Amino acid sequence: MERISCRRLAVFVLVITLLVHQTKGLNIEGQHLLDIKSKLGDKFNNLGNWNPNDSAPCGWIGVNCTNDSNDPVVWSLDLSSMNLSGYLSPSIGGLVHLTHLNLSFNELSRSIPKEIGNCSSLVVLALNNNKFEANIPKELGKLSFLTTLNIYNNRLSGPFPNEIGNLSSLSQLVAYSNNISGSLPRSLGNLTRLISFRAGQNLISGSLPPEIGGCESLGLLGLAQNSLTGEVPKEIGRLKSLTDMILWGNQLSGDVPKELGNCSSLEIVALYDNKLVGAIPKELGNLKSLKNLYIYRNGLNGTIPREIGNLSLAIEIDFSENELTGRIPVEFCRISGLQLLHLFENQLTGVIPVELTALKNLTKLDLSINLLTGAIPSGFQYMTKLDSLLLFNNSLIGSIPQGLGVYSQLWLLDLSINSLTGKIPRNLCKNGNLSFLNLGSNKLTGNIPTGVTNCKTLLQLRLAGNSFTGSFPSNLCKLEDLYAVELDQNKLSGSIPSGIGKCYALQRLHLSDNYFTDELPREVGNLSNLVILNVSSNFLNGRIPTGIFNCKMLQRLDLSRNKFSGALPPEIGSLSQLELLKLSENELSGNVPVQLGNLSRLTELQMGGNSFSGGIPAELGGLSSLQIALNLSYNNLSGAIPPELGNLVLLEYLLLNNNNLSGEIPESFQKLSSLLGCNFSDNDLIGPIPSLPLFQNMPVTSFFGNKGLCGKPVRECNPPTSSLPFPQDTSNKSTRLGKIVAITAAVIGGVSLVLILVIIYFMRHPVETVTPLQDKPTSSTVSDIYFPPKEGFTFRDLVVATANFDERFVIGSGACGFSKASLHDADNYMV
């Protein structure tokens, strides 16, 4: 009995143990979650407390369960911003009670599993800011309770599934910054509760479906930066709740629909950077809630409707970069809160309305690149909030309002390319805010005021193309942030101060076409950020300062048309960023430095009009980027043209004329397929001209002054050695020589005959009354065969024009053979 009792006790204990173990086993949702975890990378162990020995996952990080103590279920899974990688397991479909799923801001990849469509209770689905790819699963269309779908900032592709229109509860669909393509499904019109639809920065094509008008609750429509085409549907006028219409950066065409004026809640309209045409509809004036109106960079034409003045709440209006005509409406002055008005790059005419000066809140006004005339309204100087005024490239006249800058924090002023006269206002920087000043290409005079040159906030000073006088403003050297100075094409004089070396931030220094004298200060070498230096067309002299070669950022260096002398320092080869080098028309001498061959980025090299001597360095043939020109003309260069120059396959212009070069034009020049022009004249070159089509079609003057050159377009070269007997060759040469002698004799004889006839005529008729024109003889035997040579007409011209009196130019024979010569002025002569 005791054995039986012990055995029964053991069985009982075993059963109890099994029952207890079964009770503590993880439920099915926990098992789904563990499978999801197994597919994730969790390098920071954020999911470390997901314990498989738990009976339920309700205490796990990111997991929220219902409060039902008997049978709690998972209703929320929030794993956002946990640096998780891997992919989302199909086991997600097992969490059928899930209402909120947030996996955003991780690095999850692969596709969104279609099993997510089994989470039929989902209300919020946030998968944004991951690396999900492939198509949007059509099974999402089964989530009838879904209100929020955030899938933006992923790598999703393919079109929106048509089933998206089944999401009858959807209020927010955000899918921007993916690779979604194809057309928008017409089923979108079924989403009557949709409030926000944002799908910009994708590859969506086709037209905006007119069914979009069925989204009666839509407040935000964002489809910018796609490839939408066609017209903006007029049905959009049915969207009474629409506040933001963001469609910029597409290829929308046609007119701006007048029905847009029915969207009475609109606050932002962004239709810029499309292909819209036609007039701006006056119905836009009905949008009384509108704050921002951007329709720039389209093809709109016609006039700006006066009804725009009804937009009483508007803050920013931009109609720039269109083809608008007519005058600027004075009704703009009624928009009292307007802060930005951009009308630049149109074809607007007339004067700038003085009524604009009533816009006391205006901060930015840009009317540049139009056809505006008249004076700048003086009231601009009293606009206290105006910080940016751009009126450049018009036909404005008169003076600049002298109080400009006194009452406002003026930051940007560009009045360039007009016909303004007078002086620069001295208070432009009174409030210490001016950063950009451009008054170039006007008719301004006087000195540059100290109020400008002492402006510590100044970054750019551009005053080129005026008639400013005085010396270089030395105060500029104290402006530590100044990076651009353009004073070219003025009447400034004196020396360039050594203090220029203290403008450490300077990147662009333009001083060309002035009257600066003396040497270029060596302190220029302190400008380590200098990219462009142009001091051409002045009266600078002395040697090129070696300090300039410390400016390692230099890309463009123009010292041409001065009086620089001495040798070009070999340190020039250390300017590895140099793209343009102009040294023409100075008094430089010595050899051309071989170190020029180190300038691998050089696209233009101008060294003509100096006294360089020696040979052309073969290293110049290594300038593989040289494209615009290589100009070594008017120097004293000698020796052969290096064949390495034939490697300059991008070169368009080659000028080697007026030197002492010898030898032949290298055959390697046949590789210069990009060449548009060249000049080898006035050297000592010999031999055949390479058979490059360009050379043969060049003006003969490009090869003049080289006695030994032959071939097209000058004269034919001696025929090659033939297998015919020697006497026949001698006969041909004798025949050609005979022609030359005979024709020369005929010309001289003709001239002599005319002179003799004239002398005899005057001997027989010492005094003669003027004969009426009709009584004078109309012809003579001499005038039929002789034309007096024109000015500049030489025997050399005849030789060139008849290809050394070649047989094909012969048009008659007899006692004197005649040849037809077509000279460069297109007249024909018989000789």
What does residue 355 show for φ and ψ, rounded to 5 degrees? -60, -25
DSSP structure class, residue 720: P
CA distances from 751 to 590, 747, 762, 786, 831 (A): 51, 6, 17, 8, 12
Measured distance CA(361)–CA(339) in Å, rounded: 5
Is the Cβ–Cβ distance between 585 and 561 less than 8 Å? yes
What pLDDT digit, counting tens, does each position of 314-338 carry? 999 999 999 999 999 999 999 999 9
Rounded mean pLDDT of 241-260? 98
Q: Is the pLDDT of residue 195 over 80?
A: yes
Q: What local confidence, expressed as pLDDT, does residue 767 receive?
A: 34
Distance CA 142, CA 121 (A): 10
Instruction: Kindly report each contact of residues 93-99 with a partner whose C-beta sits within 8 Å and lies 24 or more positions away, as own/partner.
Output: 93/117, 93/118, 93/119, 94/28, 94/29, 94/32, 94/118, 95/29, 95/32, 95/33, 95/119, 96/120, 96/121, 97/29, 97/66, 97/73, 97/121, 98/74, 98/122, 99/75, 99/123, 99/124, 99/145
Within-domain flag for 805: yes
Residues listed for the chain: 831
Average pLDDT estimate for 218-235: 98
Spatial contact of 285 and 311, defined as CB atoms under 8 Å apart: yes
pLDDT the model gives residue 333: 97
Residue 783: what pLDDT?
25
Average pLDDT, rounded, for the chain: 87
Residue 810: domain span:
738-747+780-831
Average pLDDT over residues 796-817: 42
Residue bearing the bigger pLDDT, 672 or 743? 672
**Alpha-carbon distance 504 to 481, whole Å?**
8
Residue 742, domain member (yes or no): yes
Look-up of token digits 């400009």:
404
Q: Look at the alpha carbons of 721, 727, 728, 731 in this order and tell me if their dihedral is positive or negative.
A: positive
In this predicted model, what pLDDT tens digit does every residue of 9-52 receive, in sequence order? 343 333 333 333 333 589 999 999 999 999 999 999 999 999 99
The verdict on residue 807 lying in a domain is yes
Tell me what percent of the chain is helix, strand and coil, each rounded to the nearest 5: 25, 25, 50
Q: What is the pLDDT of residues 616-654, one digit of tens each?
A: 999 999 999 999 999 999 999 999 999 999 999 999 999
Residue 802 within any structural domain of the chain: yes
Span 70-109, pLDDT tens digits: 789 999 999 999 999 999 999 999 999 999 999 999 999 9
In a domain, 804, yes or no: yes
What are the E-state strand segments in 550-643?
556-558, 563-567, 580-582, 587-591, 604-606, 611-614, 629-631, 636-640
For residue 814, pLDDT over 60 is answered with: no
What pLDDT does 24 receive? 52
Contacts with 506 (C-beta within 8 Å, 6 or more apart), sequence order: 482, 483, 484, 485, 500, 527, 529, 530
With a CB cutoff of 8 Å and minimum separation 6, the contacts of 612 are 568, 588, 589, 590, 591, 592, 632, 635, 636, 637
Cβ-Cβ contacts under 8 Å for 253 (sequence gap 6 or more): 229, 230, 231, 274, 275, 276, 277
* Strand (E) or helix (H) holding 76: strand 74-78
**How many C-beta neighbours within 10 Å does residue 352 have?**
23
Residue 141 lies in a domain: no
Distance CA 10, CA 15 (A): 9
Contact 98, 76 (CB under 8 A): yes
- The total number of structural domains in the chain stands at 1
Give tens-digit pLDDT for 335-352.
999 999 999 999 999 999
Number of H helices and E strands in the chain, helices first, is 6, 56
Model pLDDT, residue 484: 97
Tell me the two tokens of residue 658. Answer: 């007026």
- Prediction pTM value: 0.81
Higher pLDDT, 52 or 740: 52
In a domain, 538, yes or no: no
Q: Residue 162 falls within a domain, yes or no?
A: no
Coil, helix or strand at residue 729: helix
